[in-house]
Copies of this chain bind each other. A is one copy, B any other.
């Protein structure tokens, strides 16, 4: 049986997991792959004495891996944009295949990387970058190859989903964030997770490989979860909805919606039931209908599972003429559609609104008439007893689907009413039916 030689760069969470699973399951993986996946070299800033390297050469310079003539596949697990990009581009120049878990790198520099790889005739694989261990890139690029995919929507950041799940018990965002950090789910700097940047990286990749548009992270709309309150979560629950931090990519005739934000989803929808640090991606295809992929979106061995699946695929692809391989982003470059990314004003959504109305006669009628003037239909409306006995009555509204532009105008009109106190709280809602 042939050997395929891999060089692992970065021995952190994912690098260590990859090392351990490749070692533990070597025979099983060979039985699936039809070749031995051999670790030929590892490199990382420091060695880890909990890993049994044996006589596998170790370097502190990751570029040693690229130089090693023995290495067929460079596995990039250092993270970040700059050095990672240098490493990957150098590997490609050396004619080596690349497997990476780095969604930031692919979302931002993917077009350039794939272009170089295409020219060099090597493969670059990135399953582990999206939803960790869930083989969702394989599902959209290969399993659903027959479909025009119209919607991809997912819970693709475990930290954010953990926080929103815990907040259902009435806990505040900042308190749960601290717990997530203590549990090791959130980084010391949680910006990428809670502001939705990490989710937008993954959404960018999913939109390309599912829908067939170029990678364009910079055009994705990104809204985090810091503004979500247990108060609004509770109201959403009363309306039959759950608040999830979703990445949504949707093909419309005019262009493509690409957006990450807190979203109400009906409790009866399976995606609303995905709790804690778990991830799930829903894909809507014109032939298959709605499918969903669920599992751990992070973790050492869960992510390693995807890294190794990619290594096995690469080992197979090596024997395949390059125009017969699975295209990087699911479609041959010339088959990608350059659909415009719609501005948020142009997206369509339903909306949850919370309005602090002053307790005066006729205020509800005024709100209703503003919505109606802008062509916005109401699905349900709840007027709550004021909890604060401060003369303000929260009015909770769930609307039907409307263009965000209309909603912005309506909100501006409502906020300029004398009977409204402060800003209107707005969370988008999706029914996915």
Which residues of A does B touch, CB under 8 Å? 17, 21-22, 24-25, 27-35, 127, 133-135, 138-139, 141-148, 212, 270, 273-274, 285-296, 299, 301-302, 304-309, 312-313, 315-316, 318-321, 323-327, 330-332, 334-336
Contact = CB atoms under 8 A, between A and B. Distances in A.
A29 to B, nearest CB: 6
A2 B36 CA distance: 32
B144 A291 contact: no
Given A25-B148, A335-B30, A138 B139 contact: yes
Contact of A28 (B148, B290, B294, B299): B148
A296 B270 CA distance: 13
24 contacts: A17-B287, A21-B146, A21-B287, A29-B146, A31-B332, A32-B145, A32-B332, A33-B145, A133-B289, A133-B291, A135-B139, A135-B144, A138-B142, A139-B139, A146-B309, A270-B270, A287-B301, A289-B299, A290-B295, A291-B293, A291-B294, A292-B292, A319-B324, A320-B324
A27 B337 CA distance: 12
A301 B289 CA distance: 8
Given A31-B335, A142-B313, A144-B309, A294 B320 contact: no
B142 A135 contact: yes
Nearest to A140: B135
Residue picked from A138, A291, A334, most chain B C-beta under 10 Å: A291
A182 B266 CA distance: 29
Copies in the complex: 2
A139 B131 CA distance: 14
A323 B33 CA distance: 9
A304 B146 contact: yes
B301 A288 contact: yes
A4 to B, nearest CB: 10
A28 to B, nearest CB: 6
Contacts of A327: 32, 34
Contacts of A316: 320, 324-326
Contacts of A323: 34
Contacts of A285: 133, 305
Nearest to A273: B273
A134 B291 contact: yes
Contacts of A143: 127, 135, 138-139, 306, 309
